Amino acid sequence: MRDKLERLTEVDFNKLSKLINTNYGIKLPISKKLMIEGRLRKRLKANSIDTFNEYVEYVFSDIGLKKELVHMIDVVSTNKTDFFREPSHFDYLTQEILPKFLKEKSGKPLKIWSSACSTGEEPYTIAIVIEEFLKGIRSFDYTIHCTDISTQVLKKAVDGIYNLERIEKVPIDIKRKYFLKSKDPQKNIVRIIPELRKKLTVRRLNLIDDLYKTPHDFDIIFCRNVLIYFDKPTQESVINKLSKKLRTGGIFFLGHSESLTGIKAPLKSLKPTTFVKI
C-alpha cells in the first residue's frame, strides 16, 4: 500500500455500515470504525487497491456487489466461539432432551440446526455431547445442519482443524476420543475425528434473507450470540423465520446475553435462554 497511514474516513465507513446493515442486518456503530478499518486492509491487499476510498467505490460497483460483498462480510463479521461455550445448554441437552428423545423411540434421527455455527465448535460440541450420551449404543441417529454467513468460517467447520489452544479447556478424555493430533510434531493442531465430521451438513445462509432454504421440522435449533448484532425488528423477524423450521415441542436455544423480551414468537420459556415451540 502506497500510504500506510491511509485511513477509512467516517463518510466511507457510514456507506459501508449502511450497506452491511441493509444486506446482512449487522449493526456497525461508528465505534467499530477502527476495527473495520483493520479487517478491511486484507481486502484492499487482495484486490491490489491502494486506498479505502477506492475500495468503497469498488464495493459499490456492479462487479463489486457481485464478487466482493461476500468476501467483505467474511472479514467484517465477528466469529467468536469456543468448544462447550455456555455449558448449561449442553447440560440441558444431556439431562432433558436426549433422555426424552431416547424414550420416544420414534425411529427418526434427531435433527439439530446450528444456525450461526461459525468455525464449527458449537456443532462439534453438540455431536460430542450426543456421542457421550449414547456411549456407542446406536439407540438413535442424529444430524446437525450448520449455517453461517461467512464462507471462510464454514470451510473451517468442514475441515474440523483447530489449534491446540482451542481445546485447552476440553476434558482430557474427550480430547482423546474425538480429536486427532497432527502426525507432524511441528504443527500444534488437532482434527475432529471423521465420524463426527460426517454428521455435519454445512451451508451458507444469511439470516436476514426472506426465505431459508433449509430442511423443516428440526427438533432443536441453536441461535446463540448472533441476535446481538441485529436491531429489534430484525431479531423478531429472524426468530420467527427460524421458529417456522422448528417442530412443535422443539427446543430453541439463545445465547446467554440475548432474550426474547419484546419479541412476539411462538416460543415459551422453559428456563433462561431455553425455549419450546408452542
Choose, from 39, 166, 191, 197, the residue flagged as catalytic.
39
Which residues are paired to 271 by β-bridges? 274
User: What are 99's three cell numbers?
Assistant: 433422555
Cβ 133 vs Cβ 166: under 8 Å:
no
Residue type, 196: L
Whole-number Å distance between alpha carbons of 134 and 137: 5
Distance CA 225, CA 107 (A): 32
Q: Could you tell me if 190 and 57 are in contact, meaning their C-beta atoms sit under 8 angstroms apart?
A: no
| H helix or E strand, kind and range, residue 181 | strand 179-181
148 is catalytic: yes
Catalytic pick from 12, 43, 74, 148? 148
Whether 224 sits among the annotated catalytic residues: the reply is no
- Residue position matching grid coordinates 484486490: 47
As annotated, the active-site residues are 39, 148
